[in-house]
Amino acid sequence: ADTYSHKVQRDPKFKKLDDADIEFFKGVLTDKGLITDADDLLFYNEDWMRKYRGQSQLVLKPKTTEQVSQILKYCNEQKLAVVPQGGNTGLVGGSNPIFDEIIISLSSMNKIRSFDSVSGILKLDAGVILETADQYLAEQGYIFPLDLGAKGSCHVGGNVACNAGGLRLLRYGSLHGSVLGLEAVLPDGSIYDSMHSLRKDNTGYDLKQLFIGSEGTLGIITGISILCPSRPQTQNVAFLAVSSYEAVQKVFVEARKELSEILSAFEFMDGTSLYLTGKHLKLDNPIESGEYPFYILIETSGSNKEHDDEKLENFLAGAMEAELVDDGIIAQDESQIQSLWSWRESIPEGVTATGGVYKYDVSIPLPELYSLVEACNERLQEAGIVSLEDESKPVVAAVGYGHIGDGNLHLNVSVRKYSSEVESLLEPFVYEWIQSRKGSISAEHGLGFQKKNYIGYSKSPVEINMIKEIKNHYDPNGIMNPYKYV
């Protein structure tokens, strides 16, 4: 990983950690709530892609909201910069320090607070792991309205802080709709609490929305109240091979029409991303008849198996007859459902396993979505630096996958190692390309460190100014996750 600290200057207004600070934190958390050992710090300093690495000397692990409040108040008074951290699975370099910022990890705040089985409202600490929350809900017949490949490590607080989208946004909508209330600590130590969770409450600004997607720049989220749907009683997964991006779009239109209310996910991936994933997983392509340029994963969720089976089979028969789909399989049991999903969910690992990855998470109108991958491959080929097999080339391939149902493409440039030569070929090229199509340079992963200089490609000067004013109002000393976002 690169420290990336050469790209910015450490802000001298921030104090450097000293023994008196450590003593204060020990007084709040006892010795057990502090990590200072160099080896143990590495996990917290480095990101999931091993692209960004900070140099923090201290991780704090509060167990209560009151402790978070005491810590932040002290840091604010002392001008000690901090980075809130959940499961550290973020993909934009937002969860790691750039210099010596103190990391405040929420991993010891991991209790389910309450669940109301009539309304489906779950209240929980920010540090609960997403999969743990979902398993708890499964026992009650409910489902967490967000699912994503990092579920085994990411925290619900981290999900809310990034406004993660994931695999079923198509069905359950964004966290801006399902989160009913939050508890968050502001830099001055005051505690914002809207955990009462009313579905309807039009008394003033909806302040919780400010924290959803704020990426740790305004305060630390400590509690979440979220509306959870009933768990589907029956699910199907189909994995399809198609021969063009045109066909991917047509299948999507048909799926929405034919599968309608039972469609719960529509994901796509190109042949190269599946190839790299198969290589990494050491598994053969799930479609036995050969390799295809594009694959689609369709999930249905409903309450009547026969009804859903019939609908899916009819839909697939129609799509094959219309020659939109070349080949496909329908999972026959729960383990096949898991296995097909794991192909899709393992792509981020598969495309990183080559050595590294440059990630671009974009929204563009659907017809042009995949052209970005083609434009990137052309550019890399012109520069003579890309090859799937030739180890002497720095770039393996530019691949595309993502949430077609949400108009969200993940362009990933899989590399053998990170290099400024490759990076400068891709940036700002990719951002300019997106701007010219009026797309978004960050559909779901956020801005973090990676995109803080590029926000202007998606937001107007007026919007950027409003964001800066809000930030300066709540965090006048700028201690919350500095060098990121704007």
* Residues forming the site for ligand MLT (CB under 6 A): 91, 149, 347-348, 359, 361, 402, 410
Q: Contact between 225 and ligand FAD (CB under 6 A)?
A: no
Separation of first and last alpha carbons in the chain = 23
Residue choice 128, 148, 362, 415 for contact with ligand FAD (CB under 6 A) = 148
Count CB neighbours of 423 within 10 A. Answer: 13
Q: Residue 71 or 324: which CB sits closer to ligand FAD? A: 71
Q: Residue 344 or 459: which CB sits closer to ligand FAD? A: 344
Q: Minimum distance from CB of 149 to ligand MLT (Å)?
A: 5
Q: Minimum distance from CB of 72 to ligand FAD (Å)?
A: 11
Pair 164, 403: CB distance under 8 Å: no
Among ligand FAD, ligand MLT, none, partner that 145 touches (CB below 5 to 8 angstroms by kind): none
How far apart are the C-alpha atoms of 480 and 478, rounded to whole Å? 6
Q: Residue 281 or 320: which CB sits closer to ligand FAD? A: 281
Q: Residue 171 or 359: which CB sits closer to ligand MLT? A: 359
Q: Residue 98 or 347: which CB sits closer to ligand MLT? A: 347
Among ligand FAD, ligand MLT, none, partner that 87 touches (CB below 5 to 8 angstroms by kind): ligand FAD
The interface region with ligand FAD, picked from 23-31, 35-43, 78-86, 252-260 by CB under 6 A, is 78-86
Q: Minimum distance from CB of 389 to ligand FAD (Å)?
A: 25
Among ligand MLT, ligand FAD, none, partner that 90 touches (CB below 5 to 8 angstroms by kind): ligand FAD
Q: Residue 107 or 442: which CB sits closer to ligand MLT? A: 442
Residue choice 28, 29, 75, 154 for contact with ligand FAD (CB under 6 A) = 154
Q: Residue 149 or 189: which CB sits closer to ligand MLT? A: 149
**Quick one: angle between helices 371-382 and 429-436, nearest 10?**
150
Q: Minimum distance from CB of 461 to ligand FAD (Å)?
A: 24
Q: Minimum distance from CB of 396 to ligand MLT (Å)?
A: 15
Count CB neighbours of 40 within 10 A. Answer: 10
Q: Contact between 444 and ligand FAD (CB under 6 A)?
A: yes
The interface region with ligand FAD, picked from 158-166, 256-264, 268-276, 370-378 by CB under 6 A, is 158-166
Q: Minimum distance from CB of 233 to ligand FAD (Å)?
A: 24
Q: Minimum distance from CB of 293 to ligand FAD (Å)?
A: 23
DSSP codes joined into one string, 379-414: HHHHTT-B-SS-TTSSEEEEEEEEEGGGTEEEEEEE
Q: Contact between 149 and ligand FAD (CB under 6 A)?
A: yes
- Residue 351 makes CB contacts below 8 A (sequence gap 6+) with 273, 276, 277, 357, 399, 412, 414
- Per the structure block, which two tokens stand in for 104? 């405040």
Q: Contact between 90 and ligand FAD (CB under 6 A)?
A: yes
Buried b (16+ CB within 10 A) or exposed e, 3-32: ebbeeeebeeebeebeeebeebbeebbeee
Q: Minimum distance from CB of 183 to ligand MLT (Å)?
A: 27
Residue with tokens 């028969």: 317
Q: Which of 177, 223, 231 is nearest to 199 (CA)?
A: 177
Q: Minimum distance from CB of 4 to ligand MLT (Å)?
A: 19
Q: Contact between 354 and ligand FAD (CB under 6 A)?
A: no
Pair 71, 60: CB distance under 8 Å: yes
- Per the structure block, which two tokens stand in for 353? 């396993």
Q: Minimum distance from CB of 127 to ligand FAD (Å)?
A: 7
Which of the 8 DSSP states describes residue 441? S
Q: Which of 445, 229, 232, 230 is nearest to 337 (CA)?
A: 232
How far apart are the C-alpha atoms of 160 and 147, rounded to whole Å? 12
Residue choice 359, 445, 451, 471 for contact with ligand FAD (CB under 6 A) = 445
Helix H or strand E segment including 426: helix 420-426
Count CB neighbours of 202 within 10 A. Answer: 6
Among ligand FAD, ligand MLT, none, partner that 82 touches (CB below 5 to 8 angstroms by kind): none
Pair 347, 277: CB distance under 8 Å: yes
Q: Contact between 235 and ligand FAD (CB under 6 A)?
A: no
How far apart are the C-alpha atoms of 236 and 400, rounded to whole Å? 24
Count CB neighbours of 258 within 10 A. Answer: 16
Footprint on this chain of ligand FAD (rule: CB under 6 A): 48, 83-91, 94-95, 106, 126, 148-150, 154-155, 157-159, 161-162, 164-167, 215-216, 220-221, 348, 444-445, 448, 481
